[in-house]
Chains A and B, each alone.
Chain A
Amino acid sequence: MELLTSSWWIFDEIGKYFLVEGSTRRWVMFAAILLGISSGVVGTFAFLRKQSLLSDAMAHAALPGICLAYMFTGVKDPLLFLLGASVTGLIGAIIATEIPRHSRIKIDTAIGLVLSNFFAFGIVLLTIIQKNFSGNKAGLDSFLFGKAALLARYDIYVMGSMCLLLLGITFIFYKEFKLLTFDRSFAITLGLPVRYLELLITLLIVLAVMVGLQAVGVVLMVAMLIFPAAAARQWTDRLGLMILISAFIGAFAGAVGSFCSAIVAKVPTGPVMVVVCSFLLIVSMFFAPNRGLVPKWLRLRKSRQRIRRENILKSCYKTCEEHNNWKMNFTIENFFAYFKLPRYLLRHYLRSLIKREFMSHENGNWQLTEKGLKKALQIIRKHRLWEVYLTKKMDIASDHVHRDAEDIEHAINNEVLHQLDNELKSPQQDPHGKAIPQNVCFSEQERKTR
């Protein structure tokens, strides 16, 4: 109860967004969400085309454009700044892509050159403005560091229309962009104007960068392009879905970022958006179902456990075969001596074998069950058939095939097993002279618990 009352203030703060007094906040949040959506959508293409850092160069190249726009007109109009910034941003992007085509300078060096030199030029212009234009550069450097909290309504109209433009272009050219991103050569053979389309994508990235500059600033803008797209990539292999997820993540980060900076003093919106995005990226990298590190690790662990279980069964079978006693009893010390595994792990595997009814356990003695024997026979059959295959079809010496078969026996499924058997005309003996167990059938019920 106490916890509930102490967290009331959050609801208060949220409530304020819907009141008249929260109108500025609403606008700021709206702007941050717009920014998140546009950079999420465009960032997807930048990410997939490996142009993420090119957009960093574009962001830095915007500075001289903004300064020049102000120097020529003397007006602080966000639309004008946007225009100037887009022009120099586009020029910067073109230079960065052209340098590697005409010299032996690599793309990363070219990007670094454009980024730092355009920015330095911009700073020189900024200091000139400071000196010659009545020392007023206040509106200019908000472009650099981002002042989301100071966005005026007119700024947001500009941002909103830019965002709509971006979404519109992406929607219209979706198919072309998709083709260009994944199979450029095919796009060329289809007769698409590839150069112009690439220029269009670059222009889209430039526009998205410019939309965000005022809110998050030059340095962090590139983060808003990378993070949502990189996070979305982890969840899906489909472009359409990736764009949607990316836009959603961008919008979510925008909402959280502006909310945090509104209720906590001294927390700038841009950096919080970046931190939120990066948190989402980290979560996606770890937990996304297919590509995520944790699911991947779990899959690996599962198959490793299966392989260890199978190895235990197999070695039990071999010992039985040696002694020609199929009801042989094993003590836990036998296992400890044979497998170089930590004892607790071995106990764990033995327990799971019992759970799967492959082994039975009585008074400290382990024994293969009927089902366990069948399973072991199947593994041995895979192993020995593979050995035959390697010696007969691959001409590998019979003393070199064991190691390979040791690995492959866990990966062969029943279909492959059947084909191997057919191909080799059902051999009876492996290259070492041992008998190959013939087809072992599991009953329906036995098959359920592998």
Chain B
Amino acid sequence: MTFIALASFEIWIMVIGALVCSACGILGCFLILKKLALMGDAISHAVLPGIVIAVILSGGLNSVAIFIGAGLIGVLTPILVDTLKSSRLIDEDAAIGSVFTLLFAIGVIIVANAGNIDLDTECVLYGEIATTPFDTWIIGGNSYEFDGHVYTKGGVDVGPKSAWVLGIVLLINIAFIFFFYKELKISTFDPMLALSMGLKPKLIHYLLMFLVAITTIASFEAVGAIIVVAMFIAPGASAYLLTDRLSLMIFLSAILGAASSVLGYFLALSLGGDVSIAGCMAVCAGSIFTVSFFFSPKYGVVVRLVRRYNLKKRFDAENILMQVYRLNESGKKCITEDYKKNTVNMFVQQGLLAKSDSELRLTEKGINKAIDLMRAHRLWETYIHKLGLPEDHVHQPADEMEHYLTNDLCKEIEKELQHPDSDPHGKPIPIKPEK
């Protein structure tokens, strides 16, 4: 067993990644449920002019100003989209697409013209998580200027700034969800009910959008504008496929987000370490989604296929049992060669059929099972014949229904029909021999 020695900055990268993923992930759950996933995308692009204007107005990379500017734009974006949509001149998707691209374009033009803004569009798009651990927050100590830069001497190093910022944002998000859980839940699943209960779904909606914008800004430095969208959507979408309960979904999305950031870091290491770590984290988040898309116990594609295959297998088997029963009923022999070898072997193994020479017979267990099925089939035929279907139209539906009818249901039908002896074709409705 090998241990991987991790330097402290590597652990910080994973911690920061995990903070980003879970802060985004828990909000992302609501974006997904409210069908606002692309609003998250739009906000993450549209905050660019907010950042740029805040930088210009405050004259530097003042983080408070940036948060305010971006938060305002973050709320402005959904308001603009809603206004455009309610004018009924263009559809929602076109409205989202036009608002964020216009804001982004304005941002790019301002950046290009504002001269010496310390803002790299490439960094805004990609993020640079690898450098975040080195920008630490030092409490106390004396700052001094040297060669045009400000340095700090002494003091206590309490860890990367972005970890603190992201931690605070995560706490705010958790507090928001915790205190407004009822409001969020009702306005997500039934906005009309929320409105009639006086829960102010509009206010909740814009608060959510504001937090999305704030979280986006906090994550920018680490992961950039586009990858943050993966952090918002992928953990929540995976969790959505795994559970039907909102609280569990939120919890799972935080866990899956954190997991994808740790996995992402190791993926980046295995690719040589020089690759985009944030990109790797997003790719891992996407892979986790892919896995849950295929293998989620309840909604996974593969799982559903397996379930369907098993059902089909059961139907086939039951059909063969009934066929043998019918042949026996009309006094004909059942020849082994008529059936596939493995099918016959399977039945023999299950003790439903017995093979003697080239003839197939039902065992006692097989007869009991076949009688149950035949009963269900012929009772159903009688029943729908009574409902008014002509007798040459009853076989097909009964052929499907026989696999679903339970014994209890059969008893009820029998009572309803006052214990008939034969089906519409005159064939006897079999009864299990008393033991």
Chain A residues packing against B (C-beta within 8 Å): 47, 50-53, 56, 60, 99, 102-106, 108-109, 111-113, 115-117, 119-124, 126-128, 130-131, 141, 144-145, 219-220, 222-223, 226-227, 229-230, 233-234, 266-268, 270-272, 274-275, 278, 281, 285, 291, 293
Contact = CB atoms under 8 A, between A and B. Distances in A.
B293 interface: yes
| 8 pairs of A and B residues whose beta carbons are closest in the complex | A120-B282, A223-B101, A116-B230, A117-B286, A271-B105, A116-B229, A274-B105, A124-B279
B237 A226 contact: no
A223 B93 contact: no
Interface string B108-146: 110011000000011001100000000000000000000
A223 B102 contact: yes
Contacts of B232: 112
A245 B240 CA distance: 43
Given A53-B93, A275-B109, A120 B227 contact: yes
A201 B93 CA distance: 18
B272 interface: yes
A56 B45 CA distance: 12
B289 interface: yes
22 contacts: A105-B32, A105-B241, A109-B32, A109-B37, A112-B38, A115-B41, A116-B286, A120-B282, A123-B279, A127-B275, A128-B275, A131-B272, A145-B122, A222-B101, A223-B102, A226-B101, A230-B94, A230-B98, A266-B112, A271-B109, A274-B102, A278-B98
A433 B90 CA distance: 50
A223 B103 CA distance: 11
B265 to A, nearest CB: 13
Nearest to B233: A112
B276 A124 contact: yes
B285 A108 contact: no
Q: Chain B binding site: helix, strand, loop or mixed by DSSP?
A: helix
Nearest to B285: A117
Nearest to B115: A266
B160 interface: no
| Most-contacted residue by chain B among A99, A106, A117, A141 (CB, 10 A) | A117
Interface residues of B, number: 59
B283 A121 contact: yes
Contacts of B105: 220, 223, 270-272, 274-275, 278
A266 B113 contact: yes
Interface string B77-110: 0000000000101110110111001101110110
Given A124-B280, A128-B275, 18 more contacts: A50-B94, A53-B96, A104-B240, A112-B38, A112-B229, A112-B233, A113-B230, A113-B289, A115-B41, A116-B229, A117-B282, A124-B276, A131-B274, A226-B94, A227-B101, A230-B94, A267-B109, A275-B109
A33 to B, nearest CB: 19
Contacts of A285: 87, 89-90
B352 interface: no
B78 to A, nearest CB: 14
A124 B395 CA distance: 60
A226 B279 contact: no
| Most-contacted residue by chain A among B98, B104, B271 (CB, 10 A) | B98
B340 interface: no
Contacts of B276: 120, 123-124, 126-127
Interface of B: 32, 35-38, 40-41, 45, 87, 89-91, 93-94, 96-98, 101-102, 104-106, 108-109, 112-113, 121-122, 125-126, 226-230, 232-234, 237, 240-241, 268, 271-272, 274-276, 278-283, 285-286, 289, 293, 299, 301
B237 to A, nearest CB: 5
B93 A50 contact: yes
A305 to B, nearest CB: 23
A113 B230 CA distance: 6
Contacts of B278: 120, 123
B109 A272 contact: yes
Nearest to B38: A108
Nearest to B88: A291
B299 A104 contact: yes
Nearest to A51: B93
A281 B227 CA distance: 30
Nearest to A233: B90
Given A117-B234, A119-B227, A274 B274 contact: no
A47 B94 CA distance: 7
A221 to B, nearest CB: 9
Given A103-B301, A266-B113, A226 B97 contact: yes
Contacts of B233: 109, 112-113, 116
Nearest to A285: B89
B275 to A, nearest CB: 4
Contact of A108 (B35, B226, B240, B289): B35
Contacts of B106: 271, 275
Contacts of A268: 108-109, 112
A113 B241 contact: no
B163 to A, nearest CB: 22
Contact of B90 (A122, A219, A223, A230): A230
Nearest to B84: A285
Given A53-B93, A56-B97, A226-B94, A219 B104 contact: yes
Contacts of B274: 127-128, 130-131
A103 B299 CA distance: 7
A106 B35 contact: yes
B240 A226 contact: no
Contacts of A116: 41, 226-230, 233-234, 282, 286
B96 A219 contact: no
Contact of A120 (B38, B283, B293): B283
Contacts of A122: 279
Contacts of B102: 223, 274-275, 278
A104 B301 CA distance: 11
| Most-contacted residue by chain A among B38, B102, B271 (CB, 10 A) | B102
A271 B108 contact: yes
Contact of B279 (A120, A130, A272): A120
A278 B104 CA distance: 12
Contacts of A104: 240-241, 299
A262 to B, nearest CB: 14
A291 B89 contact: yes
Contacts of A108: 35-38, 93
